[in-house]
Structure 1
Amino acid sequence: MISSQYVSRITLRRDKVDSFDRYPFCLPAVHSLESIDLHPKVTYFVGENGSGKSTLLEAIAVSLGFNAEGGTKNFRFGTRRSHSELHEFLRIAKGFRRPRDGFFLRAESFFNVATEIENLDAEPAPAPPIINSYGGRSLHEQSHGESFLALMTQRFGGQGIYILDEPEAALSPQRQLTVLARIHDLVLDHSQFIIATHSPILMAYPDSVIYLCSKEGVSQVAYEDTEHFQVTRNFLADPKRVLRTLMER
């Protein structure tokens, strides 16, 4: 049966990999990977730094035609080639519906996307300036958090697939809640999200699936069983006790 969601499954073509001892195939999230079924609304990848979740997310985005440094499928700039070859070994199962919109957000290279928008708008063109789709104000003239919110509220138009790598990087807790509400609005408008995050706020969206990238590989986990939720809950329940334990010498 053909799925109606934009992307339904990611499969690693293990027979094409010559060695799992080299990067990126040695990463925990990749080493034992077979296939991952994506949620039709929101799929999260969580785990420690170095587990491979961002590398996996990047490979999914590139496989779908997005620029490795971020942006829409129309962006083709490259500041520094740093993405892995993993995308060449992924099989992407798509549904019969095609997204009308899409964006790959990488927190670490969003500055480069903002610069590329300014460079493109500096060139003569018959079309309106690209920045108009982002609210009309230079992304460089806003704080990191403001530019992220402008992207999600102005540029994300719905009926799209949105791949977000650590979008909480520049967001306060209150603005993370704002982003969570925006994700819900876009989901109601037939959008699909794939998100790598450390934020227990952002990963709280109820109609979703969470995959934990650990040294054992990739496995599905309940929200309340994530370390992010448990550590945050325990700290807020008794911060003095936690701090006392941390600072004992």
Structure 2
Amino acid sequence: MFLKRVTLLHEKIENRVEYPFTIPSISGLEQLELTSSVTFFVGENGSGKSTLLEAIADKCDFNTAGGGRNNIYDVHASQSVLGDYIRLSWLPKIGNGFFMRAESFYHFATHIDEMAKEEMIPYRAYGGKSLHEQSHGESFLSLFLNRFSSEAIYLLDEPEAALSPQRQLMFLRILHELTQDEECQFIIATHSPILLGFPGAQILSFDHGEIQEIQYEETDHYRITKSFLDHRERFLTEITADEEE
């Protein structure tokens, strides 16, 4: 792994009552130690996990709308608001990598089409054809299989968004190969209990107003999913009872 630590530069913060410092997990951050080649950010929507991931992408000089250092295009509201307030500690420092955010992947795919038309890049790095000509899930897997390579850092925001459970398992295999054979590092914001089960991963929770490391079985994603699968009839009975009231 390459990125070892993320530090919040408190001395640079002038107004703590403005976003993103109104997010408890962000305002309370001091140093975040990364101890595994795969780190997951988990937490409820609005807990700060995507905000910090985007800031890391910004400090890596990746396009915060999605892409690497050479993907230059604009998407509304893609500018990081936290990037100027964090410091990244590397050993060694690398520049290769990619930031993928599911919510703006359409714009990234359009950007690749425009570059291909100008013969600036071949489609070979994206499965041999336009990402728009592939299903949503196929385009995600094409990116992982063809664009991702050795000695790089990859920042992924909810990669499970277009992946079926079966394809999430395929992604876990890709993740294993890239970390074990290609010496890659991943930081992934996710809600998927399947992805969170990756062996040896570090899981950082942004809930309860602070960032803390937890075990897989302690995540809400695991506990709620397991409880529902074990007691599905009870859950459904309670839901229909609430509707009748």
TM-score interval, normalised by the smaller of the two chains? over 0.9
CA distance in 2, matches of 1:173, 1:143: 15
1:7 aligns to 2:3 (yes or no): yes
The residue identity in structure 2 corresponding to 1:39 is: T
Give 5+ residue unaligned stretches, structure 2.
none
Q: Which residue of 2 aligns with 1:147?
A: 139
Name 2:130's counterpart in structure 1.
Answer: 138
C-alpha distance after superposition, 1:33-62 (max 9, x if no partner): 111111331011000001111111000111
Task: Work out the CA distance in 2 between the residues paired with 1:165 and 1:77.
Answer: 19
Deviation, structure 1 residue 160: 1.4
**Does the 8 Å CA contact 1:168/1:197 hold for their aligned counterparts?**
yes
Q: Please report how far the alpha carbon of residue 84 of structure 1 lies from its aligned counterpart in structure 2 after TM superposition.
A: 3.2
- What displacement does 1:142 show? 1.0
For the 8 Å contact 1:24–1:84, the answer to whether it is kept is: no
State the TM-score, normalized to the length of structure 1: 0.93
Partners of 1:6 and 1:40 within 8 A in 2: no
Deviation, structure 1 residue 173: 0.6
* Count of paired positions: 241
Alignment of 1:1-249 (within 5 A): 5-96=1-92, 98=94, 101-125=96-120, 129-188=121-180, 189-249=182-242
Following the alignment from structure 2 to structure 1, what is the Cα–Cα distance between the partners of residues 68 and 122? 11
Gap change, CA 1:59 and 1:97, over 3 Å in 2? closer
Q: Which amino acid aligns with 2:18?
A: R
Shift of residue 201, structure 1, vs aligned partner: 0.4
The Cα of 1:246 is off from its aligned counterpart by 2.3
Contact 1:52–1:213 (CA under 8 A) maintained in structure 2: yes
Aligned with 2:143: secondary structure?
helix
Per-residue displacement from partner, 1:172-211 (whole Å, max 9, x unpaired)? Answer: 1110010011100000121100000000101111211111
Work out the CA distance in 1 between the residues paired with 2:24 and 2:150. Answer: 33
Structure 1 stretches (4+) deviating beyond 6 angstroms? none
Say whether the 8 Å CA contact 2:36–2:202 is kept in structure 1: no
> What is the percent sequence identity of the aligned residues?
46
Amino acid in the other structure paired with 2:57 = A
Retained in 1: the 8 A contact 2:47–2:207? yes
Q: CA-to-partner distance for each residue in 1:214-239, whole Å, 9 max, x for gaps?
A: 14221111110000000000111121
Deviates more, 1:147-156 or 1:237-246: 237-246
Please give the alpha-carbon distance, in whole angstroms, between the structure 1 residues aligned to 2:195 and 2:66. 20
CA distance in 1, matches of 2:123, 2:15: 44
Tell me if the contact between 2:26 and 2:48 (Cα under 8 Å) persists in the aligned partners: yes
SS of the aligned residue for 2:51 comes to: helix
| Aligned-residue RMSD, C-alpha | 1.3
C-alpha separation in 1, matches of 2:113 and 2:171: 25
